[in-house]
Structure 1
Amino acid sequence: MTNNSGKPAVLFDLDGTLLDTAPDLGFALNSVLRRYDFPEKSADEIRPHASHGSYGLLRLGFGDAFDSFDTQQLRQEFLDIYEAHTCVHTVLFPGVADTLARLHEQGIKLAIVTNKPTLYTTLVLREFKPLADIDVVVCGDTLPVNKPHPDPLLLAAKQLEVAAQDCFYVGDAERDIEAGRRASMETILAAYGYLGDHDQVHDWGADHRIERFSEILQWYKN
């Protein structure tokens, strides 16, 4: 099979795009909240914040009281719990395995660009073979900067040996779309991910929007 209509490379965000990690991130958050006698958050409350990193989730949980704590200590407690529970309930989004296999068959180059630190990225990727087979992975601590800075995306493109303008970047958060645009990549909003009612997605300027992961294949018709 050959690629007749798409770009030669597709780069992906991780949480909220390839993997549904919200349940395990939520477990870590609620575990910390219980330690400090704060009320737990529901899955519906947590999900729109699951792409916002440890500080974003902790701020959701502790609210206005967050800054009165040692925030670095809270973050470390959160990460320690998450490290022990990274793949208890985490799953691939529907269609990810089959779609990635189709892209591989067509010779499309693939990469992951995430703000998740290397330690936790490695823990989750090794549990999911379709993702472990992706050779180029740029994490949140690979460079001194992370998304929405374009440099992590540009590094992935360089490692793939593809020009940035010849890449799609797929993500579910505003920082993903901003990073992709700043890197001169064609951006795809994963609307099935961790979007919240407050997200003004029409203002983000994504080039495309998909409601299911498999819709990526519309650019790779045979």
Structure 2
Amino acid sequence: MKNEIKGILFDLDGTVLNTQKMNIIPLQKLVLEELGKSISYENLLEYSAYPGKKTLELLGFKNIETSYDKWVKYVNEFEEGAILYKGFDTVFRKLYEKQIKIGIVSSKTRKQYEIDFIPTNLEKYIQCLVLAEDTINHKPNPEPLLLGAKLLNLNPENIIYIGDTFADEIACKKANMKFALASWGAIQTINITCDFFLKLPEDILKIEM
């Protein structure tokens, strides 16, 4: 069947991993130190959809590379690390057993991926990996998702992309994939449209595949 689901691509932050506090609180510290501004936690949340360096650019940082390195240092020193959302160990295992191809498409850097995701012991299920260094363009541009489809050797229409932001939705639609919203990590869901609204990670297993 043309629209049969044969693969799932996952975002990481806010979808598979809860990394909100470990990213935002260090960013607040960096903004205060380097820009002399106090920006609320809530106002910084809107930047969660962007790659780290793009976030710093949008916030007005000048020396992006140096500031980014400092932000990464603060993130890795933060007392709370990345937390796997409950249920994903079962979800990944059961999808793998059903022979659904599984991939990661994230704006996270490879170094941060190794720090945040490798400790989950779920990498054994991953059949493709697209990170910030792998494409010139990033979400909401569809390039990372299309690369994921190519690496899985699947047509985009046979793939679901699971993410938590408006940028994920836009990239998904441009890539001609079905979009599933990970509502547990979404900052706001009002203006996001999706093919599948997921309340819990286990809801992924209820999708007909």
Q: TM-score, normalised by structure 2?
A: 0.83
* Higher mean C-alpha deviation, range 126-135 or range 107-116: 126-135
Q: Deviations over 1:29-62 (max 9, x none)?
A: 13324535654744x55555433343576589xx
- 2:137 maps to 1:145: yes
Percentage of pairs with the same residue: 23
**Aligned residue for 1:70?**
62
> Which of residues 113, 117, 122 is equivalent to 1:121?
113
Query: Aligned partners of 1:126 and 1:87: how far apart in 2?
Result: 18
Q: Are the equivalent residues in 2 in contact too, given 1:115–1:139 (CA < 8 A)?
A: yes
1:110 match: secondary structure: strand
2:136 match: secondary structure: coil
Cα distance change, pair 38–137 in 1 and its aligned pair in 2 (3 A): same
Gaps of at least 5 residues in structure 2 are: none
**Aligned residue for 2:82?**
90
Q: Are the equivalent residues in 2 in contact too, given 1:149–1:179 (CA < 8 A)?
A: yes
Aligned residues: 205
Letter of the 1:75 counterpart: Y
> Which of residues 12, 15, 22 is equivalent to 1:14?
12
Letter of the 1:70 counterpart: K
Q: Deviations over 1:6-37 (max 9, x none)?
A: 61100111111100011211242133245356
Cα distance change, pair 127–40 in 1 and its aligned pair in 2 (3 A): farther
Query: Aligned partners of 1:70 and 1:76: how far apart in 2?
Result: 13
1:50 match: secondary structure: helix
**Aligned residue for 1:24?**
22
Q: How does 1:71-220 map to 2 (within 5 A)?
A: 71-72=63-64, 73-82=66-75, 84-85=76-77, 88-131=80-123, 133-196=125-188, 200-202=190-192, 205-220=193-208
2:96 match: secondary structure: helix
Q: TM-score, normalised by structure 1?
A: 0.79
Letter of the 1:94 counterpart: K
Cα distance change, pair 6–16 in 1 and its aligned pair in 2 (3 A): farther
Query: Aligned partners of 1:151 and 1:49: how far apart in 2?
Result: 20
Q: Are the equivalent residues in 2 in contact too, given 1:29–1:57 (CA < 8 A)?
A: no
Gaps of at least 5 residues in structure 1 are: 61-65
Cα distance change, pair 145–39 in 1 and its aligned pair in 2 (3 A): closer
